[in-house]
Structure formats: C-alpha cells, structure tokens
Amino acid sequence: MGKKAAEGIQIPADLTGLAPEELDTLQSDIEGAFDELTSDENINAEGIALATTYADAIDSIKGERGVREQAAAENKAQREELRSRVHGDKDDKKEEAAASTKSDGDDEEKASMTASGRKVPAEDVLKSSSKLNIKLSQAQREVPSSGQPKLSAQFDASVLVASSDGPKGKPH
C-alpha cells in the first residue's frame, strides 16, 4: 500500500505500529473517502483503482484488528492458566462449592413424580424423617384378621417400596 490518496489520506504500509484510536480514525477517513468516490456514477478507471486501494486498506485494518484480538485472547488464556497453576486450589474449591450448591438445589427442584395426573415431590425414604419406610414384619403386624390394612391417615404421595426377606425370613 503506502500510496498517497488524492484527498491526502496516507495509508501506512505497516499497520502494527498504529494505536487502536489511530486505526479507528484511519478506517473512518478511508470509508468516508471511499463512499464519496463510489457515490459518483461516472467513476472512471482511475477512481475504481483508488476505490480498490481503499477497500484493500479497510480489509487490512480489519485483519490487523483480528490479529490484535486473537493475541489479546491468547494472552488472557495464558494469564488464566498461570493463575490456575499458582492459585488453582483456591479457585477450584470455590468453583466446586458453588457448583455443588447450585446442583443440589436443581436436583431437588427436578425430583418429582407424577401420580394421578398431579406432580408430587420425590423423596428418598431412606434419608427421610417421615415414616414411609417400614419393615415388612411391622406391616404384617398391622394387618387385621380381615386382611385389609387399617389406614389411620390419608397419604398425599405415591409410595413405591421394594423389599425382600433373606434366608430364614430375615430381612437383608
């Protein structure tokens, strides 16, 4: 590049030495000159050549910005890697604690069963304080001679219990 434009726009051959603000100003000036030049319907070959130079300069400026953004992203990634090497245990523990707190709440919200067309919360009966988990021998004692169990209270949740007796009638 390095050509002197008719309107006095100097396009440097090396854009790496320009500050970001200088790149912005240069791009704005070139775009203005390009728009003015290409708005003329009677543009000649020399005008087309100059417009092509402007378009190439804009592409170069955009490319330089891309290179700078990529270098900044790489620097940030390297910085984070170094921070992780030095402070990894502290950051990892904080992230793990935050993730486990967040996931615990999510699991409780998602845990539900559909019974009779309504959603009821699912509950781990082994960890529950409610008396939903009873032993088979206890249930057999509660059954009256008629064979129908007596229910002293209505249950608001569906319960699925699986049990078995081991050898000699002992639960295992």
Per-residue pLDDT of the chain (172 residues; tens, 9 = 90+): 334 444 568 899 899 999 999 999 999 999 999 999 999 999 999 999 999 999 999 999 999 999 999 999 999 999 999 999 898 756 556 666 666 555 554 444 445 555 555 565 666 555 555 555 566 666 666 666 666 655 555 555 566 666 666 666 565 5
Which helix (H) or strand (E) is 84 found in, with range? helix 45-110
Domain boundaries of the chain, sorted by first residue: 20-107, 111-172
* In contact, 171 and 165? CB cutoff 8 Å: yes
Give the contacts of 36 (CB within 8 A, at least 6 positions apart).
Answer: 7
Percent of the chain with pLDDT strictly greater than 90: 41
Q: What is the pLDDT of residue 88?
A: 79
For residue 157, the 8-state DSSP code is S
Q: Encoding tokens for residue 73? A: 């992203």
Nearest-CA neighbor of 61 among 118, 9, 114? 9
* In contact, 5 and 50? CB cutoff 8 Å: yes
Q: What is the pLDDT of residue 26?
A: 95
Which helix (H) or strand (E) is 121 found in, with range? strand 118-121
In Å, how far from its chain's centre is CA 108?
A: 22
CA distances from 155 to 73, 159, 163 (A): 59, 9, 20
pTM: 0.47
